[in-house]
Structure 1
Amino acid sequence: MIICTNKMEYPLRTQCQRVQKQVMVNSEKERVSLLFMKALVSRGSVDAVSQQMAPHPQYLESFLRTQHYILHMDGPLPLPYRHYIAIMAAARHHCNYLVYLHSAQFLRVGGDPLWLQGLEAAPPRLRLLDHINKVLAHQPWLTACSHIQTLLKSGEQCWSLAELVQAVVILAHCHSLCSFVFGCDTDSDFVPLSKSPNGTPPTFCPFDAANGNTNVPQLLAAPSEHITRRRSLDSSCDMVCLKERIQKSQEEREKREERLLQTQTLQQTDMEEEEEMICFADPSRFITDPDFCYQEFARREEDHFQVFRVQDYSWEDHGFSLVNRLYSDIGHLLDDRFRSVTTLPSLHSPDMKRAIWNYIHCVLGIRYDDYDYGEVNQLLERDLKLYIKAVACFPDATKTSVCPLSLTPIKTSERIHVNLLIMEARLQAELLYALRAITQYMIA
């Protein structure tokens, strides 16, 4: 008879736990490697945003699935329209990275290069989206039923309801992605900005923005020259989880491209350079009313804009069903993103995650009647509130001297998680405002 003593059990149990933990780590690395392999096969590269999200493979998978669906899968809008709408959305925050990325993809799917000369060169139907794009990006609480009516009843240039819903989803997706890009400093490879960043609130004070006090004049940056030389759209990042086969695939692809470039004619080279010049155009070409920016919702003197109460219109009870009915399956994909980000492993407690989410919605005019907002001040330090508000509401201002967020005391490992929460909370907020306006139009 064999008797297992406690002295034998504990080391064995500890060893088993270590093995299980190592298996989980390995499986997560395998999952990331598989996602990156798919990206290499489909696009020939791994974009910088995916690399930043790599520590959270479950969320990354959900994010990539949604992004691929709205930009490439079946839908009412043609592919060039989708990428041009993405350009318009990213331009509102002067997000060079996303503007250049979608400009290249716009040309790749057959878009007219002339449209990239500026918004005035785009078709009238796309220009009609400019106003709702501007409002959703900076002051989403202004989104009204009248905006929806204008788009749906514009004569020959009118939008269908299904087209408008897909356009709104793309706008909200790219606006919120700008927050992630700036929060993770992904846009740094494409600075300096050509002008004062749109979205920097007038008289913005970085030391007191969390509480709305503003005393420092807005910084005006000097215009810079356009970038015309060839640069990669993907930032270089050493990924430990990439295996040798991925590295070999990249090396082989680079060799093939090099051989191909050597055999190209002078005419083809000139066409590429001209195309690239268009891709690296100033994002301000795609916006109007550059002075329109985020304003403090809680400190407005006017009372005619009421607080958006989730009890009256929520994602779970209203937004999900509407968007899923008008744009098949997108509701499930978006819902999976919202659930994935709230279940990510983190050092933050569930209460702190909820505080971050509700604080973002609060500064965007959305309130929860059943939430004690005193917890926000208890759980979120002042510097963290400043960081969250800036990245969520005026992300492009975070790269100027009036908003030195690089000094914020957030660990690198936790910053990505906080930025994911900011992105998803902002995405849901914009969708709630837009879908509520669409609902009001439908029942009017």
Structure 2
Amino acid sequence: MIICANKMEYPLRSQCQRVQKQVMVNTEKERASLLFMQALVSRGSVDAVSHHMASHPQYLESFLRSQHYILHMDGPLPLPCRHYIAIMAAARHHCSYLVSLHSAHFLRVGGDPVWLQGLEAAPPRLRHLDHINKVLAHQPWLTACSHMQTLLKTGEQCWSLAELVQAVVLLAHCHSLCSFVFGSRADGLCDLAPFPKSPNSTPPAYCPCDTANGNANVPDITRRRSLDSSCEMLFLKERIQKSQEEREKREERLLHAHNTLQQTELEDEEETAVYSAEPSRFVSDPDFCYQEFARQEEDHFQVFRVQDYSWEDHGFSLVNRLYSDIGHLLDDRFRSVASLPSSHSPDLKRAIWNYIHCVLGIRYDDYDYGEVNQLLKGDMKLYIKAVACFPDDTKAPVCPLPWAPLKPSERIHVNLLIMEARLQAELLYALRAITQYMIA
């Protein structure tokens, strides 16, 4: 009897493990579904970036929470200024997707349409931010205390410390998000143009979002479909596109009436489209770009050693003190991306993170950089460096051959690591410069 019981124990244990695994999978799908529904309620849309991140709901939740806080919650900068800074940051990498997205948000929160004519049309105070914007985007190791001193000097157009910290966080957030936008195109899942259309440009008869939008005539079997179904994702995008287009038309009519413009709605739409689709309008010194840090003269550019200034010991406390709670939200993002379940070994994830910091001039004294060459193949290193340092030159990057067996979610995970490592690197340079200003 004991032997028989032991024989029965193994299939029962295996069955329990399968059930537990299925429950975990269903929970993750439900979590992604809930995040999408929350986005639909709060913003009326689900952007393409969130679609890609949806394969990692744990990370997506922390990303959306921090992004919402930076762009919409209490802070020293007015809402229109926040979105304009985001436009400036995205324009440095010629990211039309983010420029268009934030141009629309800029108008919705009451931004002056004249500012969208280009950087020269913006107030001097925002134009003064242009230099630190281009430095952080392309050569962050050039960030110096003098840059912060110029912005914080007394005068009518000066910045407060709290305002500057929020601006720096916004710039770093959008620069790194550009890397994700361009890098994720390598997955071949869908184009990241905002609100993509279906091949036949016709909306489906129904989708899982219909219940949230008041359509009760949806078959139950459709509502139960999982969000990771490619068919359902297409339905979701089509529904979002239709809802977004209808909402934008209503808002454009309101904007037209309030400003008493003597133009037709068609002309207004065309003008807005021109402004939002031209990132070059918001870029000065377009020839300023990424340069190999390793080839810089040692006397002029010192290696940034994490042992001297780290996120955990220095950056976190400073940013959290000057911009309440953002340190916790950013720290949660860094921890979330590092703890995501993955087929990648912890050593490989650390190699990706440290390699990105290395090409941006940041070094860890306690890390053996020989592991980078051992764990990252040549093609993968080229891809990671391109997406992290000059994503606008990789508008349609080819997925390296070593990645071919990886699932789409694993490739997204790599792009998330690239994004967060770059975000932390820019923050370290900027916050160190602000610290130097404060103690000078």
Taking the TM superposition and a 5 Å limit, the aligned residue runs for 1:133-282 are: 133-153=133-153, 155-185=155-185, 233-235=194-196, 245=211, 254=242, 269-270=265-266, 272-274=268-270, 276-282=272-278
Aligned equivalents of 1:424 and 1:90: distance in 2?
A: 16
> In structure 1, what is the equivalent of residue 304 of structure 2?
308
- Determine the C-alpha separation between the residues in 2 that align with 1:397 and 1:118: 22
Please report the RMSD computed on the Cα atoms of aligned residues, expressed in angstroms: 3.1
- Taking the aligned partners of 1:68 and 1:169, their CA distance within structure 2 comes to 13
Alpha carbons 1:96, 1:187 under 8 Å: kept: no
**Residues 29-428 of structure 1: pairs in structure 2 closer than 5 A:** 29-153=29-153, 155-185=155-185, 233-235=194-196, 245=211, 254=242, 269-270=265-266, 272-274=268-270, 276-399=272-395, 404-410=397-403, 411=406, 412-428=408-424
Task: Quote how far apart the aligned CAs of 1:6 are.
Answer: 1.7
Q: CA deviation at 1:254?
A: 4.3
| Distance change (3 Å), C-alpha of 1:440 and 1:190 | farther
Q: Distance in 2 between matches of 1:91 and 1:102?
A: 11
Give the C-alpha shift of residue 186 in structure 1.
9.0
Are the structure 2 counterparts of residues 316 and 363 from structure 1 closer, same or farther at C-alpha, using a change threshold of 3 Å? same
Quote how far apart the aligned CAs of 1:106 are. Answer: 0.3
Q: Which amino acid aligns with 1:405?
A: V
Retained in 2: the 8 A contact 1:179–1:395? yes
Cα distance change on mapping 1:363 and 1:113 into 2, 3 Å: same
SS at match of 1:156: coil
Letter in 2 for 1:426: R
SS of alignment partner, residue 298 of structure 1:
helix
Alignment of 1:18-29 (within 5 A): 18-29=18-29
1:413, distance to aligned residue in structure 2 (A): 3.1
For structure 2, the residue ranges without an aligned partner over 5 or more in a row are 200-206, 216-235
Indicate if the aligned counterparts of 1:172 and 1:430 stay in contact, CA closer than 8 A.
yes
> Structure 1 or 2: larger helix share?
2
Instruction: Work out the CA distance in 1 between the residues paired with 2:347 and 2:27.
Output: 29
Name the CA shift for 1:106/1:22 in 2 (closer, same or farther; >3 Å).
Answer: same
Instruction: Look up the equivalent residue of 2:398 and give its one-letter code.
Output: L
Contact map agreement 1:104 1:279 (CA 8 A) in 2: no
Please give the alpha-carbon distance, in whole angstroms, between the structure 1 residues aligned to 2:112 and 2:241: 28
Q: CA-to-partner distance for each residue in 1:305-355, whole Å, 9 max, x for gaps?
A: 100000000000000000000000000000000000001111110000000
Q: Report the TM-score when normalising by structure 1.
A: 0.83
Alpha-carbon distance in 2 for matches of 1:248, 1:117: 39
Per the normalisation by structure 2, the TM-score is 0.84
How far is the alpha carbon of 1:190 from its aligned partner? 13
Secondary structure of 2:295's aligned partner: coil
Deviations 1:193-221 (A, max 9, x none): xxxxxxxxxxxxxxxxxxxxxxxxxxxxx
Pairwise CA distance, 1:274: 4.2
Matching of residue 8 in structure 1 with residue 8 in structure 2: yes
CA contact (8 A) 2:66 2:326 kept: yes
Going from structure 1 to structure 2, the CA distance change for 1:113 and 1:374 (only over 3 Å counts) comes to: same
Deviation, structure 1 residue 301: 3.3
TM-fit CA distance, 1:277: 2.5
Kindly, what percent of the aligned residue pairs are identical? 79
* 2:196 partner amino acid: S
CA distance in 1, matches of 2:244, 2:291: 51
Cα pair 2:62 2:332 within 8 Å, conserved:
yes
CA deviation string 1:53-83 (max 9, x = no partner):
0010000000000000000000000000000
CA displacement, residues 263-303 of structure 1 (integer Å, 9 cap, x when unaligned): x7996623641453344341011010000000000122352
How many residues of Structure 1 are paired with residues of Structure 2 in the alignment?
Answer: 400
